[in-house]
Amino acid sequence: MSAPATLNVDLDALVANFRALEAVGGVPVHPVVKADAYGLGAEACARRLAAEGARTFFVARTSEGEHLRTGLGAGPAIYVLDGCLAGRAGRLREADLRPVLNTDAQMAEWRAAGGGACGVQIDTGMNRLGFRPEAAPEPFEGLDLVLSHLACADDPAEPMNARQRDAFAAAAARYPGTVRSFANSGGIFLGGDYGFDASRPGICLYGGGPEGRPDDRIRPVATLTAEVLQVRDVPAGESVGYSRGFVAAAPRRIATVAAGYADGVLRSYSPRGLAFAGGALCPIVGRVSMDVCAVDVTGLDVAVGDAAELFGPNRLLDDAAAGAGTVAWELLTSVGPRVTRVYAG
């Protein structure tokens, strides 16, 4: 193993998910690669997806767009979801980024700098970013994309989904000929009338299911593994880790694994978290500390230098997230900078 803790990224699986999302949605997929492609590495993921035909990408921040432009070179369109913040137009233009304008102030900022290709976000009920439909701008020169974002796409039974879809269809009708982008990962699976002209998935590209649980149409992409640093026998009655977070009721065999909360093993992995080691899913016991966690490998053949899997094909991302009381999005974006990213495919 090259490093104590490794995030292995299977780029072929990323492409398989990209194709699956194209097939299900029936419209071009515009990958969301914000937050360093959810921690997997925006440059590596976007370059591969561009080679597979993706022509348009989304990031959140101007700085993310600047890095991505350097990584991708000229050609693909890169939209910045933050829009055009005060004083930011020059940087956007310099890196050939397209702001997704959210407010009149952003419109004015972009126009004052000369304008150019950009998008507009319509808020159809999430009350996060974008123009309310009744306050949306008139069509204008440079506008080439209109988008809105679903609040409850991971829940197909939620009636708000259809309300947002209809509100978006009505609002977008003001901009004939402009690309309409609506569905995130979950939205792609809600049905053909959520497709519009282009989708905007993130989590399903990276291996999370559209409804926050594993889905066999989506392949695991990221695998977080860490090396076993030490294996010890803990007698009954002794404790493991900080604050005596785990007390052995019977003799246990404990592997100390080289991944802690600085690496993305959230403290909430304990007490319900599991790691795959020695061919089985094993409880993570006691408090997760900054650099290591303790895995109960009693009865298993586990030695120093072996790998323990925190999530991946043997411990699916959504299950690992549920075990930690969170969602796949947070789990992936929590993988720390000292974890080595290794690419295959």
Integer-rounded Cα radius of gyration of the chain = 22
Residue 201 touching ligand PLP (CB under 6 A) = yes
Which is closer to ligand PLP, CB of 186 or CB of 283? 186
Nearest approach in angstroms of CB 80 to ligand PLP is: 11
CB-nearer residue toward ligand PLP: 25 or 264: 25
Minimum CB distance to ligand PLP, residue 110 (Å) = 18
Name beta bridge partners: 321.
Answer: none
Q: What phi, psi does 327 have (nearest 5°)?
A: -115, 160
| Cβ proximity to ligand PLP, 131 vs 246, nearer residue | 131
Q: Does 106 interact with ligand PLP (rule: CB under 6 A)?
A: no
Distinct helix (H) and strand (E) counts, the chain: 10, 16
Choosing from 56, 124, 161, 185, the residue that interacts with ligand PLP (CB under 6 A) is 185
Residue 300, judged by CB atoms within 10 A of its CB (0-12, 13-18, 19+), counts as middle
Residue with smallest beta-carbon separation from ligand PLP: 202
DSSP structure class, residue 319:
H
CB of 300 to ligand PLP, least distance (A): 35
Query: Which segment (21-29, 178-186, 228-236, 313-321) binds ligand PLP by CB under 6 A?
Result: 178-186
Active site residue 79: no
* Residue 184 interacts with ligand PLP (CB under 6 A): yes or no: yes
Q: Do the beta carbons of residue 295 and residue 259 sit within 8 Å?
A: no
206 catalytic? Reply is no
Query: Rounded to the nearest whole angstrom, what is the least distance from the CB of residue 79 to ligand PLP in the complex?
Result: 9
Q: Report which residue type is found at 331.
A: L
Which residues have CB under 8 Å from 99's CB, separation 6+?
79, 80, 82, 83, 84, 88, 89, 92, 106, 110, 118, 119
Please identify which of the residues 34, 79, 175, 194 carries the catalytic annotation: 34
Q: Is 65 in the site for ligand PLP (CB under 6 A)?
A: no
* Binding residue for ligand PLP, selected from 32, 198, 293, 316, defined by CB under 6 A: 32
CA distance from start to end of the chain: 18
**Which of 209, 285, 214 minimizes the C-alpha distance to 249?**
285
Kindly state the smallest distance separating residue 113's Cβ from ligand PLP, in Å: 23
| 171: enclosing H helix or E strand | helix 160-172
Q: Does 202 bind ligand PLP (CB under 6 A)?
A: yes
Spot the catalytic one: 38, 79, 242, 269. Answer: 242
Helix (H) or strand (E) holding 104: helix 104-112
Instruction: Kindly tell me which residue out of 98, 149, 253, 315 binds ligand PLP, with binding defined by CB under 6 A.
Output: 149
Q: Of 18-26, 69-77, 103-111, 198-206, which part binds ligand PLP (CB under 6 A)?
A: 198-206
In single-letter form, the type of residue at position 76 comes to P
Active site residues: 34, 242
